[in-house]
């Protein structure tokens, strides 16, 4: 059995601009007005790590689990006001993969789980909670993807997968796959050139003609 690990924003859902806007609003809402909003340049590309860095830099206080949960609720209250579109072909692809007994699928995202679940559901993708790992308990993308793999082994009741493929739209997705020594397929054109320059060998503009 092969495992395909999907990123969500920019890979399955067309949600990055709105999500970044909501994230900036959330930070401002807790009283932090000045912060580095170039989220791609933080050490770890995850909601939890970026929030930790911004909060601790601005306040000098420790970033707690309770604070992260507070921020997740703020973000969720904002994001449910939006409907999201799929990256072309996403829902049909997932449905086809779910019907394939030789394929396992899971979702690994740098965003917080409650908001990630909402975006998947908004484009009609069905999944079990064990199939999705966000950044609630991890800062690095490597930790998130590694946990998603372990969860998938239990969910599909296998000791190991014959092949593991990460599917994502960003350079951070590619770097994570390389660091974990798993295969990678790039999606979308926004970061295509950067991914090609850093070793991406397989790419699709969207998910309509996706194949392993």
Report pLDDT digits (tens) over 71-81: 999 999 999 99
Say if residues 30 and 73 touch (Cβ distance below 8 Å): no
Say if residues 131 and 107 touch (Cβ distance below 8 Å): yes
Q: Is 65 helix (H, G, I), strand (E, B) or coil?
A: helix
Separation of first and last alpha carbons in the chain: 13
H or E stretch covering 108:
strand 103-108
Poorest-confidence range of 23-37, 63-77, 127-141? Answer: 23-37
pLDDT at 166: 98
Structure tokens at 149: 């793999």
User: Is the predicted pLDDT of residue 38 greater than 90, yes or no?
Assistant: no
User: Is the predicted pLDDT of residue 171 greater than 90, yes or no?
Assistant: yes
User: Is the predicted pLDDT of residue 37 greater than 90, yes or no?
Assistant: no
pTM of this structure: 0.96
Poorest-confidence range of 34-43, 91-100, 152-161, 188-197? Answer: 34-43
The C-alpha atoms of residue 205 and residue 63 are separated, in whole angstroms, by 38
> Across-strand partners of 130?
none
- Residue 27's pLDDT band, with cuts at 50, 70 and 90, is very high
pLDDT at 40: 82
Say if residues 109 and 116 touch (Cβ distance below 8 Å): yes
For 114-124, what is each residue's pLDDT tens digit? Answer: 999 999 999 99
Distance of CA 68 to the CA centre of its chain: 17
Say if residues 11 and 210 touch (Cβ distance below 8 Å): no
């Amino acid at each position: 059995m092969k495992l395909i690990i999907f990123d969500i924003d920019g890979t399955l859902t067309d949600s990055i601009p709105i999500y970044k806007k909501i994230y900036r609003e959330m930070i401002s809402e807790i009283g932090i007005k000045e912060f580095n909003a170039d989220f791609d340049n933080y050490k770890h590309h995850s909601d939890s790590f970026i929030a930790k860095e911004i909060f601790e830099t601005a306040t000098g206080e420790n970033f707690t689990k309770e604070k992260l949960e507070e921020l997740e609720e703020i973000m969720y209250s904002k994001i449910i006001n939006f409907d999201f579109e799929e990256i072309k072909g996403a829902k049909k692809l997932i449905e086809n993969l779910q019907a394939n007994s030789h394929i396992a699928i899971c979702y690994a995202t740098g965003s917080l789980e409650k908001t990630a679940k909402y975006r998947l559901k908004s484009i009609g993708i069905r999944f079990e909670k064990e199939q999705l790992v966000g950044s609630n308990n991890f800062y690095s993308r490597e930790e998130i993807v590694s946990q998603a793999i372990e969860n998938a082994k239990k969910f599909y009741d296998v000791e190991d997968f014959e092949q593991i493929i990460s599917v994502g739209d960003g350079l951070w997705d590619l770097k994570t796959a390389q660091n974990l020594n798993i295969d990678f397929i790039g999606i979308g054109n926004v970061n295509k050139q950067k991914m090609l320059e850093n070793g991406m060998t397989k790419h699709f503009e969207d998910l309509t003609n996706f194949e392993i």
